[in-house]
Amino acid sequence: MSYLSAKLAPKLNAVVDWFIPAGMKQSRDTLQGVRMFLFSHFFGPFLGNTVTLSMLYLGAEADLSWWILFVAVSGFWVYPILLRLTGAYLPLALISIEELLFCIFWGAYQYGGISSPILPWLVTAPLLAFFYLPERSTRIIVTIQIIANLVLFYGMYAVVGFHESVSSDGLVALGLISIFCASVYVSMMALYFASIVYSQGELEQEIRRHKATEQQLRDATGQAQRALLAKSVFLAKMSHELKNPLNAIIGYSELLIEEADETDTQKRKDLTSIEGAGHRLLGLIDNLIELSKLEAGRVEVHARDIDFAAWFEKLAARTAPAIAANGNEWIVQAPATGRIVCDAQLLQRVLEGLLSNAAKYTHNGRVKFSARVRNDAWIMSIADTGVGIPQARMASLFETFGSTEEETASRYGDEAGLGLPLAYRYCQLMGGTLSVESQVGAGTLVTVTLPVQSRSAEEAFAMPAASSPLSPMLSS
C-alpha cells in the first residue's frame, strides 16, 4: 500500500488527471470519483478482452455474437476521451454501467446461459457504483438498472432459452479465467481507491499542519503588532522628554553665538555647527514622534476651508530663498482661484519637505512648483532637474527605516529616510496620494493629489493602507 501510494499513485493520477476537465478538479469528492471512473475504463477492457479472447482459444467461433461482445468491451476505452471532450461525467458513468451490464448478460446469453462463467462479473456493477458514484440517488439508479437487466435476462431465458456454444470443459476453464480476471479487476479498483483515500488522508494532515502553522503566525503577528503599537505609544508620549533638553542646547548655543566676539570666527563657526546639528536632531526627533503618532493612530486631522490660491502663493514666497540659494531657477504656476477643505498644517508640512528636498539636491538647475484642479481634486507638482533617484530605490522609497546605501550616490532624501514616508502617510491620512517619478541625472517629479473635500482622521484610519503609487520616470 505504501509503495503504491508513494510511487505508482502519483504517476497514475498524472495520467488520469489529463482527461479530467478543470471544473471537476475543484471538489475533492468529485475528483476522487472521476479518477476511479477513468482508472476502471483504462484497465477494465484489458481484463474483459482477456475473457473474450479466451473464448476463441477454448473453441468458440469469431461469429457476430462474439464480435458484438468484443467491440462492446473495447468500447470502454472511448469513455475517457468523451469525458475530456464533453465533461458529462454522470451521464457517461450511468451509460458505462449499462454497457457493462449489457456485456455481462450478452456474454452469459451467448456462452453458458444461467451457468455462464461471465455472470460473476455482475458483482462489479454495484462495486463500480460505490467507487465512482458516491451519491445516493445515482446508486439507486444503478440498482434499478441491475434489476431491470436481470428481469430482461430472465425473461429471455424463460421465453427463448439459451444455446451453448462452448463445451462443458470449456466453460469450466473459461469460468476460472473469468473469475480470475474479475478478481484482479476488483482488487485493482480497491487498491487504487485505497491509495486515493490514503493520499487524501496525508493531504488532510498536511492541511491541518499548515493551518496550525498559520494560526501560530497569526498569533506571532498579533504579538508583533501589539509590541509595535506599545512602542509607538511610548515614543509619542516621550516627546517632551526628548525635545526639552535639546531645546535647551539649541537655546544656549544661540545665546553663546550672540555673546561671542565677532573677531573670533572659529568660535562662532563651532557654535553655529552646534546650533545646526541641534536643529537637525530636533527635526529628526519630530519625524520620529510623528511617525509613532501615525502608527498609534494618534494624529488628528483638523480640516478647514481655506483659500488655496492665496495659501499656495504664500508657501511659494517663503520657499523662494531656499531654492535660489543653490543658483536654481524658481518657476511658480499658481492657480488663479480656488478653495480646499483640508488640514493646512499637514499639507504645508508635506509640501515644505518636498520643496526642501528639491532645493537641497538641485544645483544651478530648475525647480517648478505648480497646482491645478482636475476632477474635484487639487494636483500639486514639484519638478526639479536635480540628481534624481536610482530605480533600485524606487520600490522602497516610502518604507520607513529602509536601507540608505543608495542615498550616498543619489544624495536624495533625508539621512534617516523618514521625510518621504511621512509625507506619503500624511497624504493618505487626508485622503490623497503621493507619487514619485525620477531618473538619475534627469530630475524628479513629485505629485501630490488631494481631494477638494478632505476626510476626517477617523475615516482615514478606518481605510486600508494603499500601496505605494510609484510609476516610471516621465520627462520633467
Per the structure, the complete domain to which residue 283 belongs is given by 239-296
Closest CA to 192 of 37, 376, 336, 321: 37
Say which residue the cell 488640514 belongs to.
343
CB of 192 within 8 A of CB of 42? no
Q: Of 275, 296, 317, which residue is a domain's last?
A: 296
- Are 309 and 457 in a shared domain? yes
- Are 58 and 95 in a shared domain? yes
Kindly tell me the burial class for residue 286, based on how many C-beta atoms sit within 10 Å of its own C-beta (0-12, 13-18, 19 or more). Answer: middle
- Are 24 and 138 in a shared domain? yes
3 state DSSP class of 393: helix
Residues in the chain: 476
Say which residue the cell 517632551 belongs to.
240
- Are 137 and 16 in a shared domain? yes
List the chain pLDDT tens, one digit each, 476 residues. 444 445 666 677 777 788 888 878 777 777 777 887 888 888 888 888 888 888 888 777 788 888 998 999 999 999 999 998 988 888 888 888 888 888 888 888 777 777 777 877 887 777 777 777 767 777 788 888 888 888 887 787 777 766 555 556 667 777 788 888 888 877 777 777 676 666 665 556 777 777 888 888 888 888 877 777 777 667 666 666 777 787 888 887 888 888 777 777 787 788 888 888 887 787 777 777 777 667 666 677 888 888 988 999 999 999 898 888 889 999 999 888 888 888 888 898 889 889 988 888 889 999 999 999 888 889 999 999 988 888 888 877 777 655 444 443 334 444 445 678 888 888 888 889 999 998 888 899 999 999 987 655 445 444 444 333 333 333 33
Q: Of 263, 279, 296, which residue is a domain's last?
A: 296
Say which residue the cell 480497491 belongs to.
190
In a domain? residue 372: yes
Pairing of strands 329-333, 366-373: parallel
Q: Can you give the C-alpha Rg of the chain in angstroms? A: 42
Name the grid cell of 189: 479498483
Say which residue the cell 501615525 belongs to.
294
Name the grid cell of 269: 563657526
CB of 432 within 8 A of CB of 463? no
Measured CA to CA, the distance from residue 382 to residue 323 in angstroms comes to 12
In a domain? residue 344: yes
How many CA atoms are closer than 13 Å to the CA of 414, on its beta-carbon side? 22
- Are 45 and 61 in a shared domain? yes
- Are 104 and 164 in a shared domain? yes
Query: Quick one: which H or E segment has residue 215?
Result: helix 168-237
CB of 449 within 8 A of CB of 466? no
Measured CA to CA, the distance from residue 129 to residue 463 in angstroms comes to 54
CATH of the domain at 454: 3.30.565.10
The 10 Å CB-count burial string (b at 16+, else e) for 88-113 is ebeebbbebbbebbebbbbbbbbbbb
- Are 346 and 280 in a shared domain? no
Specify the DSSP class assigned to residue 25: G
3 state DSSP class of 37: helix
- Are 430 and 354 in a shared domain? yes
Measured CA to CA, the distance from residue 133 to residue 142 in angstroms comes to 9
- Are 248 and 195 in a shared domain? no
Closest CA to 330 of 310, 316, 313: 316
What is the maximum span of the chain, computed from C-alpha positions, in angstroms? 136
CB atoms within 10 A of CB 437: 21
Intra-chain end-to-end CA distance of the chain, in Å: 69
Specify the DSSP class assigned to residue 6: I
In a domain? residue 370: yes
Kindly tell me the burial class for residue 445, based on how many C-beta atoms sit within 10 Å of its own C-beta (0-12, 13-18, 19 or more). Answer: buried
In a domain? residue 469: no
Residue type, 67: W
Measured CA to CA, the distance from residue 157 to residue 112 in angstroms comes to 11
In a domain? residue 400: yes
Query: Cα 346 to the chain's mean position, in Å?
Result: 35
Measured CA to CA, the distance from residue 99 to residue 114 in angstroms comes to 19
- Are 285 and 390 in a shared domain? no
Name every residue whose Cβ is closer than 8 Å to that of residue 472 and which is 6 or more positions away in sequence: 437
Report the pLDDT value the prediction gives residue 268, as an integer from 0 to 100.
Answer: 78
Measured CA to CA, the distance from residue 467 to residue 456 in angstroms comes to 20
Q: Edge-to-edge strands of the sheet including 329-333?
A: 329-333, 366-373, 377-384, 443-451, 433-439
- Are 249 and 353 in a shared domain? no
CB of 432 within 8 A of CB of 279? no
In a domain? residue 289: yes
Q: Of 259, 274, 296, which residue is a domain's last?
A: 296
- Are 310 and 292 in a shared domain? no
In a domain? residue 230: no
Residue type, 25: K
- In the chain, the number of structural domains is 3
In a domain? residue 355: yes
The 10 Å CB-count burial string (b at 16+, else e) for 145-178 is bbeebeeebeeeeeeeebeebbeeebbebbbebb
Name the grid cell of 325: 540659494
Report the pLDDT value the prediction gives residue 415, as an integer from 0 to 100.
Answer: 45
Packing angle, helices 89-110 and 79-86, rounded to 10: 160
Name the grid cell of 282: 530636533
CB of 446 within 8 A of CB of 409? no
